[in-house]
Each structure stands twice: as structure tokens, then as C-alpha cells.
Chain A
Amino acid sequence: MIEFMQSLEIWQILAIKIVFALMMIGAVMTMAGYSVLAERKVSALMQGRLGPNRTVLPIIGSVPIIGPFLQGLGIFQPLADGLKFLFKEEIVPGHVNKIYYYLAPIIALVPALTTMTVLPFGEFFTGAGETIPLMLADLDVGILFILAVSSLGVYGIVLAGWSSNSKYPFLGGIRSSAQMISYELAMGLSLLPIFLWVSKPGVEVSALSLVEIVNSQHQANWLLLVQPVSALIFLIALFAETNRLPFDMPESETDLVGGFHTEYGSFKFGIFFVAEYAHIVIGSAIFTIIFLGGWHFLPWMSDPWPANWVGTILGVGWFLTKTVGLIFFFIWIRWTLPRFRYDQVMDLGWTKLLPLALANLLFYIVLVTWLDQSAL
């Protein structure tokens, strides 16, 4: 593989990378679009409604049995939603700060899409018994990269709130930046015990690499079972970072109309919307990688698929199954729990999650040291 890459010109390598990146963006954006549909369908299911079942495409919709079935599932709905966002009238309120008003949705979307570069989603088996992780860039500090880039996403929301030049969006922006700073701390601290656990003495791996974290769960316990408290803190912080209910402070409809995107319409609102769902998709994938064993089968079991291209496809499919399950979990929570009050969010972040994360870290420092000492 490496020799093959070295034989290429630089523009050929660039072209290959760009094609792969576009494929990855296509996959994640499709998943984000269909999570919107899933959100509407699942909420309909929970409230005894049918959900979107009217949109239809001309030719596919008139196929006898399959057409109405797909129509009932609402498969074509994301397409219609996207077109609607594109063709709506572009309204720019007169009181906004134009440059930042246009810049904000882009800044919100770019970090959400950049995090996917270091996301491994499967492994490719070469004939020589080696495995190559399927990802755009195998960085040995992948998890830090994701934390760093996703922390830039807050600028989109803050700028949107500020440039709208009106009260509700401004409050939404301020709330969101306070919330994100508070929960980033707990999120980072909840991951430290994972690094301690994965980098045992004598193991020459960089525990900050997502691939190593996944492979450490092969034929061993999932980290969810080893470190349930870390997983819980990480999951709660993930909800807060993706602005999902019960933490959707920046856009709580009941007290802030639409929060930071009150003044946004048409495609610019669509970009915010897609960015939120892209965050959910990538967040679910990260949780799968760190705590649910990634593309490996169940805990303590070796992968039941053969080590060839069939195994690659089944592994990626299994990874996607776990990710979709987590996306369902996100939606499930949203339509089950009521929203926190703002002071409750801050209280939970600073006085409960942060001390819990610190205590968890101390506990695992002591435990790992004790295990190391008794092993030597």
C-alpha cells in the first residue's frame, strides 16, 4: 500500500484523497439527512402519529408495491426538505451585521465535517495478514483532534447570536458558549481514564489514537463495561455539546423563540440544521469507537467474519449498526425527557459532572497503578 502510494505523483495522491473525502462527506451528510427523517418518524411513533408519509418521486413512487411502501416510510422526505431549503426566499433582516451573519452558518458546519477526517469506521484486510484501518487520516492523536476541532463549532453559534443583533439570538449565543465551555471540561476529563486504561506498561501504542482504542477492545471487555462512569459522563457531555434536549439551551423554543437561529431562514437555517445532525452522527460514531468496541463484534468474542473483503463490509456494517442505534438513543431521549432550566444545566455541569469526572480519574489512577504494581 505504502509503496503504491509512493509511486504516485503528488497530484494523483491529492486526487485520491479528495475523492475519498468527498465520499465520506456524502456518507455523513446522507446519514445526517436521514437522521432528520428518523427524528420525525420516531417522534411520530412515540406520540401515536404516522409522521411524514406524503412525499413521492414520480417514477419510483408509481412502482406497484415498493412505491407506496417507500412513500409510507417517508424515504423521499429529506430530498424534499433539502430542495425546500434551497428554493425558499432568501430573507436577510435589515438589522443584522451582514458579514458575520453569512459567516456563522459556515463556521458552524465546517468543524462538524472536519472531525470526520480522523474517524476510523472499519478495517481492510491485506492478503499478508495485516489490517489497515479505514479512515481518511490515521493521526496518532485522533481523539485530541476531535476534541480540538469540535470546540471550534461554538463560534458558529456565538457569531450567529451576536450578528443577528436582536435579544433572543443573543441570549441563545451567550447561553451556548457558557454551556459548551462547562461541558467540554467534563468531556475531556472523562476520557483521561480511557487513555490510562488502554496504555498499559509494555504496550507500545499511543493511547490517543482512535484505532488503538478500538483494537484494545478486540477479544476483551468493551470500555463501556470497564468504565461505566466515564461512559456516562461522556454521553451526558456529548448531549450538551451537540445541543440536544435536555440540553438545548441555545434554542429552547419556549423561552427564546428559536434561540441563535431566530433570524435565519431558508438555506442558512438549513446549514445550521444539518450541522446539528452531523454533530449527532459523528458524536454517535465517536461513542461507538471509544466505548462500544467500534467495528469489533461482541465483548470477549473474536469477530465471526472472515479476514477478507466480506469481513471488511460486515465490520463496517456492524459499526454503522451501533452508530444508528446510538442515533436512535439520541432521538429517544429527546422525545422522553423535558428540558433543564438554564441554572440546572450549569449546576449539573460544574457541581456534579466535573467533581464526578475528577473522582473517576483519581479512582482509575489508583486502580491502574495498583494493577501495574501487582502485575510486575
Chain B
Amino acid sequence: MNFVDLLFLGFATLALGGGILMIFSRHPVSAALFMIISMVSVAGLFVLLEAFFLAILQVLVYAGAVMVLFLFIIMLLDVGPEGAKSSRLKLVSGFAGVACFSILIVLSLLLVFDSSPISQASTLWPALDQNSLVNGENLVFSTRVKSFGFGLFTKYMLPIQVAGFLLLAAMVGVIILSKKVIREEKV
């Protein structure tokens, strides 16, 4: 076992442990902090794969921006430690947990034993591959920023625009929702 393996084990333990502790901690602030630990450890795993750009995006977007907002909201609403939930809520969350876990098991089994299209990332977008306008067919795999940008704006142009459109819709929705509140206050 060499040094990188040790680092991998350390980061993987932190990522999984942080995730598990996040679910089991009673206080929302502790849960948020364990989630940050888990996300930063995933960034560490990316660094071990020499995908520095992905690691930095992981820290910048998730640990740095999204979780700050989470913590901000938790503190602003002053959510205390959770008490005992009602039995119906427990049933719903238990059912959701079992469903998610079985989906995870099925997907990982598929990835290991099956060579069907879902495990081959290159055939995920067959419609795009056939498009003659796309000149991203021979994308070279590398972790440099340039290849990320090139891939995003050639081969994955449609997905990135769809994602952008979804975000725009969310933004417009937020603006409309927040405007509605003000109008009600005036009346």
C-alpha cells in the first residue's frame, strides 16, 4: 500500500463518514458542517485523480457557496435540535430511504455486471454523436481546463444549454414568487 492509497482511504473515510454523520446528527448546524466535511473530502478525492479543476469547482460551488447559504438559512431561522417526529413523517422518510438505497444498489450492480449503454458514458448522447455539426468526436481525455471548456462547448453544447435554461426558469420563478409577497403586503 503506497502513500496515495493511504490518502485515498483517508479521504474516502472522511467523505462517507461525514455523509453518515450528517444524516444521524440531531442538530442542523452539525449536519451542515458534516456535509461540508464530506464535500471537501470528495474534492480531495478529485485531487488524487489529478482533476484539480473539478476539485476546485467542488469546493467553490458546493462547500463555498451552497453550504454557506444553507448555514445562513439554518441560523437565520434558528432551527434547534430536532425533536421526535410524527409517526407518519417517520414512515414517509423510511420509505424514501429504502427506495433511494435500493435504486443505488441496482445502479451499482448495473455498473459492475452489465455492459449495457448506461455504463458507457460515450454512448449517453447518441443523437449528439451523429450530429455532423458537432466536432467534439475525438475529444482527448485530459484534466486540463481547456479540454473541459472545449468539451462543454462542442460535444455537450445541448446539455449545457438545457441546464442553463433550467436555471433561468428557476431564477424567473424566484423573482415572480418574491414579487407576489410584496404585492400582498401592499394590499
Chain A residues within 8 Å of B, Cβ to Cβ: 10, 100, 139-141, 144-145, 147-149, 151-152, 154-155, 158-159, 162, 170, 173-174, 177-178, 180-181, 184, 206, 208
What residues make up the interface of B, taking CB atoms closer than 8 Å to A? Answer: 2-3, 29, 33, 36, 40, 52-53, 56-57, 59-60, 63-65, 68-69, 71-72, 75-76, 144-146
What is the chain B residue whose CB lies nearest that of A143?
B56
Number of A-B contacts (CB under 8 A): 66
Distance from B150 Cβ to chain A, minimum over Cβ atoms (Å):
13
User: A10 to chain B: which residues have CB within 8 Å?
Assistant: 2-3
Indicate if the CB atoms of B56 and A148 lie closer than 8 Å: yes
Asked if residues A151 and B65 are in contact (CB atoms below 8 Å), the reply is: yes
A140 vs B75: C-alpha distance in the bound complex, in angstroms? Answer: 37
Nearest-CB distance from A301 to chain B (Å)? Answer: 31
A159: chain B residues at CB < 8 Å are: 33
Residue B75 contacts which of A141, A147, A158, A206 (CB distance < 8 angstroms)?
A158
Contact A158 to B56, CB < 8 A, known contacts A151-B64, A152-B63, A152-B64: no
Query: Is B60 a contact of A151 with CB atoms below 8 Å?
Result: yes
Chain B residues with CB below 8 A from A158, complex form: 68, 71-72, 75
Known: A141-B53, A152-B63, A206-B146. 9 other contacts (CB 8 A): A144-B60, A145-B52, A149-B59, A151-B59, A151-B64, A151-B65, A158-B71, A177-B68, A178-B72
**B146 and A147: CB pair below 8 A?**
no
Known: A10-B3, A139-B52. A181 touches B76 (CB 8 A): no
The 8 closest A-B pairs by CB, nearest first: A151-B64, A148-B60, A148-B59, A144-B56, A148-B56, A177-B72, A141-B53, A162-B75
Residues of B within 8 A of A139 (CB): 52
| Complex interface: chain A residues within 8 A of B146 (CB) | 206
Query: CA of A148 to CA of B39 in the docked complex: distance in angstroms?
Result: 13
Interface of B is mostly: helix
Name which residue of chain B comes closest to A207, CB basis: B145
Given contacts A148-B56, A148-B60, A174-B75, contact A141 B145 (CB under 8 A): yes
> Measured between alpha carbons, how far is A130 from B75 in the docked complex, in Å?
53
DSSP majority for the A interface?
Answer: helix
Are the C-beta atoms of A140 and B145 separated by less than 8 Å?
yes
A-side contacts of B29, CB under 8 Å: 100, 162
CB <8 Å contact, A155 and B76: no
Please give, as numbers and ranges, the residues of chain A lying within 8 Å of B2 by CB-CB distance: 10
Inter-chain CA distance A189–B57, complex, in Å, is: 15
Could you tell me if B72 and A174 are in contact, using CB atoms closer than 8 angstroms? Answer: yes
Cβ contacts under 8 Å, B3 to chain A: 10
User: Is A155's CB under 8 angstroms from B144's CB?
Assistant: no
Please, how many angstroms separate the alpha-carbon atoms of A155 and B37 in the complex? Answer: 12
Report how far A176 CA is from B83 CA in the complex, Å: 30
A140 engages B72 (CB within 8 Å):
no
Q: How far is the CA of A180 from the CA of B67 in the complex (A)?
A: 13
Select A140's contact among B52, B65, B71, beta carbons within 8 Å: B52
